[in-house]
A and B are shown apart, each in its own frame.
Chain A
Amino acid sequence: MSKKLLLEKAHVEGIRYFDVYRREGGYRSVEKALKEMSPEAIVEEVKKSGLRGRGGAGFPAGMKWSFIAKPEGVPRHLVCNADESEPGTFKDRYLMEFIPHLLIEGLIVSSFALGSNDTYIYIRGEYAWIVDILEQAITEAKNNGFLGKNILGSGFDCDIHVQRGAGAYICGEETALIESLEGKRGNPRIKPPFPAVKGVWDRPTVVNNVETLAAVVPIINMGGDEYAKIGVGRSTGTKLISACGNINKPGVYEIDMTISVEEFIYSDEYCGGIPNGKKLKACIPGGSSVPILPANLLLKTAKGETRYMNYESLADGGFASGSMMGSGGFIVLDEDQCVVRHTLSLARFYRHESCGQCSPCREGTGWMEKILKNIEYGNGKMSDIDLLWDIQRKIEGNTICPLGDAAAWPVAAAIRHFRDEFEWHVLNPEESQERNYGLAHYADPIHVPVG
């Protein structure tokens, strides 16, 4: 049983309400931070903890906080990114729904550290019922003196506002989120200037993921050094993984990043194996935008070492034979799944969610979807596979925001690792309509070069 920091109390009855949460030791970090620590000390503590952004990119949170500009007389803002729209990722929803006060507590401490008197939660529009939960938690916190004017007599004022999005994936990108928060069309901004210098209403802003901000609470409670001891290497602390797909026990799991991928999929404590005795074919380890890996590369790296559930190990081998931790959306595909169809559905998603601002992403995502549709429905040509590869290559890295990369990577990885399945679709247009390619050789042990 690995250590739980965030979801430890998630199933205590009534933890959603202030009284129970407080009785279970909630809001200790606010008392500690506001009474005993300076904002700089909190930033230092978060830096020491090695906490990495949980939204996908894995950028060190303390570092991000220290970049915030502090011009005289200009208010600063903290924005909580709760626009969790990546297919396969639902960890923030779980956290906000079951233990909303943890997020509020983390937000108060982080706002104090960053000097934000008006803090925003930008929440996905589809999470309509969670808005009510959060607003109730905010009201309760306010009534008990943890929010509002002069919190705990420290002279620090803070208000938290919940803003609903309108259901656009792109608004999870931090600058698009800021535009949307300002009431504009959610188009990503061109960086620089970075939000740390010019964010919401041109004021210095920090945008953090829900889980990152919630993780500030245990960091303050136990100290940064103590937190850094959990986990392995530069992957410190615990991570929420939302597992779904062909597994026996889908759900949100908190892991301390020391377990192997194999253990995560097959142990009863976590996913509980694959139903109906099927075999593992492929897996997307970190949300729809990260590269898909076949079973053999997922469980072992190209060097033949065991792959672990942490930032470094999942990324081992780069994109040639590795993937990314991403936002922790763990999607498992068994031998009955078709990778072409799967890639098509992702391409359709990115085509639909592209904001249309810059040309490679706007035109390229639609083109890729049309070609994939042809291949999937038996109208593909052999040259289409190379064409897809060329299109994704021309989108990747040439766009304003990472959505272009996110649209290109799944297609690239699918062709890189599952090219023969694409070719089988092209060569057997009729058969591919009736049956799947199956497991094929994707679970075979890979040849590891000696030395």
Chain B
Amino acid sequence: MSDQQQLFKVTIDNITIEVPAGTTILNAARKIGGDVAPPAMCYYSKLEGSGGKCRTCLVEVSKGSEKDPRPMPKLVASCRTTVMDGMEVKNITSEKVLDARAGVVEFLLLNHPLDCPICDQAGECHLQDLSYEHGKEGTRYEFQRRTFKKHDIGPYIQLHMTRCILCYRCVFTADQLTKKREHGVLDRGDHAEIATFIEKSLENDFIGNVIDVCPVGALTDKTFRFKNRVWFLKPVDAHRDCPTCSGRVTLWNRGDEVFRVTARKDEWGEVEDTPDGKPGWICNTCRFEKKKTSDWVIEGPRLINRHSVISQGHYAGKVGTHMPTETFEAVNDGRKPKLLMDIHSVSEVNKPEVQLSLIDGPAHSKVFNQNND
């Protein structure tokens, strides 16, 4: 056992960390966190065989290992390269890496329609984040962007092939989560596309997870299509007793209304593990059918990275706006606020029994209607 737990020392951007043998450079960098972690569009730690395709996670290995200190001749894909003892890696400290990464971002955006204003993924799109953080402000591409014939892949999932960056995540998901994979990559080169053979719909209890793994807006939830923007929604953790899956989800609410249901995602945008250590994939029933708050046991607000547009001005807690805990009296030396006019005496809309300060987020008409009857 002690052999397997051998620790390797690896230095990434001058920060040294010890990781078990067999860890990839990317996962070692994620342990350090922050800007040191290279962006990954195709790698998904929960999917076997993913990674190596998008080339955004390229890093420079300036020292191979303690035994063989030669640097690697080319930039390597950090998601598929395992660390060696004494390895030295340069990520954001390497000009070469930043240059290559800017190139990859340009390539990824080359044929991307940039239809963010009408894309449901906007706000939680990895390609948006990537191009914001690593891309250039303009494009040098002057040609028509490629388009595809539209395929209908069923009642739940919407496929926008023009937005796809061919990360293969959904193919791996269907391969590894379901017994029968119906979609794959047809054709090759820049006309390769995700499609079914021929014109089938994706029908499987777990196929909805392809929406969660898609880093861009190529696969979106049809039941949520054009309903709302993700940053107007309030994510809350919830669970239910589901016979097919873990039933641990994030509800995206506005008021009491459940707009959509997704799996819980960690800080890297990947599906979180359940307490028993398995990835918390959710079934189609939980995702598409259970759209009432009464279906769920609410656990509490979901913590979202404070840099995300989703966490802007939402709720109390670790992130977002801070709800004051001190009362008016305490701040004003025991003086009570002077009531100039009681709004309830003149307004029919507001109800005195509804305590606005106790509602999380914006008040909804239902809040008042419920209390009325």
Which A residues contact B (CB, under 8 angstroms)?
Answer: 168, 170, 185, 190, 351-360, 362-367, 370, 387, 394, 397-400
In whole angstroms, how far apart are the Cα atoms of A359 and B77 in the complex?
13
B58, B111, B140, B189: the one contacting A355 at CB < 8 Å is B189
Residues facing A in B37-82 (CB within 8 A) are: 51-55, 58, 74-75, 77, 80
Q: Which residues of B contact A356 (CB under 8 A)?
A: 166, 185, 187-192
- Nearest A residue to B165 via CB reads A359
Q: Does B304 contact A (CB under 8 A)?
A: no
A168, A170, A359, A370: the one contacting B55 at CB < 8 Å is A359
Q: Which residues of A contact B141 (CB under 8 A)?
A: 367
Classify the interface of chain B: helix, strand, loop or mixed: loop
Count contacts on B: residues with CB < 8 A to the other chain: 33
Q: Which residues of A contact B104 (CB under 8 A)?
A: 359-360, 394, 398
Q: Which residues of A contact B184 (CB under 8 A)?
A: 185
The answer on a CB contact under 8 Å between A394 and B192 is no
In whole angstroms, how far apart are the Cα atoms of A170 and B188 in the complex?
10
Q: Could you list 28 examples of A-B contacts with CB < 8 Å?
A: A190-B51, A351-B190, A354-B188, A354-B190, A356-B189, A358-B53, A358-B54, A359-B54, A359-B104, A359-B165, A360-B104, A360-B107, A362-B166, A362-B189, A362-B190, A363-B107, A363-B108, A365-B189, A365-B190, A366-B189, A367-B107, A367-B110, A394-B103, A397-B75, A398-B55, A398-B74, A398-B75, A400-B52
The answer on a CB contact under 8 Å between B143 and A370 is yes
Q: Which residues of B contact A358 (CB under 8 A)?
A: 52-55
Q: Does B100 contact A (CB under 8 A)?
A: yes
In whole angstroms, how far apart are the Cα atoms of A364 and B325 in the complex?
56
In whole angstroms, how far apart are the Cα atoms of A364 and B184 in the complex?
23
The answer on a CB contact under 8 Å between A351 and B100 is no
- Nearest B residue to A169 via CB reads B188
Q: Which residues of B contact A362 (CB under 8 A)?
A: 107, 166, 189-190, 192
B214–chain A nearest beta-carbon distance, Å: 16
The answer on a CB contact under 8 Å between A398 and B103 is yes
Q: Which residues of B contact A394 (CB under 8 A)?
A: 99-100, 103-104, 106-107
The answer on a CB contact under 8 Å between A360 and B166 is no
The answer on a CB contact under 8 Å between A352 and B189 is yes
In whole angstroms, how far apart are the Cα atoms of A76 and B51 in the complex?
27
Q: Mark B88-130, 1 if CB is under 8 A from A, else 0.
A: 0000000000011001101110110000000000000000000
B84–chain A nearest beta-carbon distance, Å: 12
- Nearest A residue to B186 via CB reads A185
Q: Which residues of A contact B191 (CB under 8 A)?
A: 356
The answer on a CB contact under 8 Å between A400 and B53 is yes
In whole angstroms, how far apart are the Cα atoms of A363 and B104 in the complex?
9
In whole angstroms, how far apart are the Cα atoms of A354 and B111 in the complex?
16
Q: Which residues of A contact B140 (CB under 8 A)?
A: 387
In whole angstroms, how far apart are the Cα atoms of A387 and B110 in the complex?
14
In whole angstroms, how far apart are the Cα atoms of A354 and B107 in the complex?
14
Which B residues contact A (CB, under 8 angstroms)?
Answer: 51-55, 58, 74-75, 77, 80, 99-100, 103-104, 106-108, 110-111, 140-141, 143, 165-166, 168, 184-185, 187-192
In whole angstroms, how far apart are the Cα atoms of A351 and B190 in the complex?
8
Q: Which residues of B contact A352 (CB under 8 A)?
A: 189
Q: Which residues of B contact A367 (CB under 8 A)?
A: 107, 110, 141, 143
Q: Which residues of B contact A190 (CB under 8 A)?
A: 51-52, 77, 80
- Nearest B residue to A366 via CB reads B190
- Nearest B residue to A394 via CB reads B103
A400–chain B nearest beta-carbon distance, Å: 6
A41–chain B nearest beta-carbon distance, Å: 30
Q: Which residues of B contact A168 (CB under 8 A)?
A: 188
Do A353 and B189 contact each other (CB < 8 Å), given the known contacts A367-B110, A398-B58? yes
Identify the 5 closest CB pairs spanning chains A and B, nearest first: A394-B103, A356-B192, A190-B52, A363-B107, A354-B189
B27–chain A nearest beta-carbon distance, Å: 16
The answer on a CB contact under 8 Å between A399 and B55 is yes
In whole angstroms, how far apart are the Cα atoms of A394 and B102 in the complex?
9
Q: Which residues of B contact A351 (CB under 8 A)?
A: 189-190
Q: Which residues of B contact A359 (CB under 8 A)?
A: 53-55, 104, 107-108, 165-166
In whole angstroms, how far apart are the Cα atoms of A185 and B141 in the complex?
30
In whole angstroms, how far apart are the Cα atoms of A254 and B75 in the complex?
38
Task: Kindly name the residue among B52, B99, B165, B188 whose own CB sees the greatest number of chain A CB atoms within 10 A.
Answer: B188
Q: Which residues of B contact A363 (CB under 8 A)?
A: 107-108, 110-111, 190
In whole angstroms, how far apart are the Cα atoms of A351 and B110 in the complex?
15
A223–chain B nearest beta-carbon distance, Å: 35
The answer on a CB contact under 8 Å between B192 and A397 is no
In whole angstroms, how far apart are the Cα atoms of A359 and B53 in the complex?
7
The answer on a CB contact under 8 Å between A357 and B190 is no
In whole angstroms, how far apart are the Cα atoms of A359 and B111 in the complex?
11
B281–chain A nearest beta-carbon distance, Å: 24
B342–chain A nearest beta-carbon distance, Å: 63
In whole angstroms, how far apart are the Cα atoms of A357 and B51 in the complex?
10
In whole angstroms, how far apart are the Cα atoms of A387 and B140 in the complex?
8
Q: Which residues of A contact B185 (CB under 8 A)?
A: 185, 356
Do A398 and B100 contact each other (CB < 8 Å), given the known contacts A185-B185, A190-B52, A359-B107? yes
- Nearest A residue to B52 via CB reads A190
- Nearest A residue to B141 via CB reads A367
Q: A356-B166, A363-B108 are in contact. List 4 more A-B contacts (CB 8 A).
A: A356-B192, A360-B107, A394-B103, A397-B74
In whole angstroms, how far apart are the Cα atoms of A355 and B191 in the complex?
10
- Nearest B residue to A351 via CB reads B189
- Nearest B residue to A350 via CB reads B189
In whole angstroms, how far apart are the Cα atoms of A356 and B193 in the complex?
9
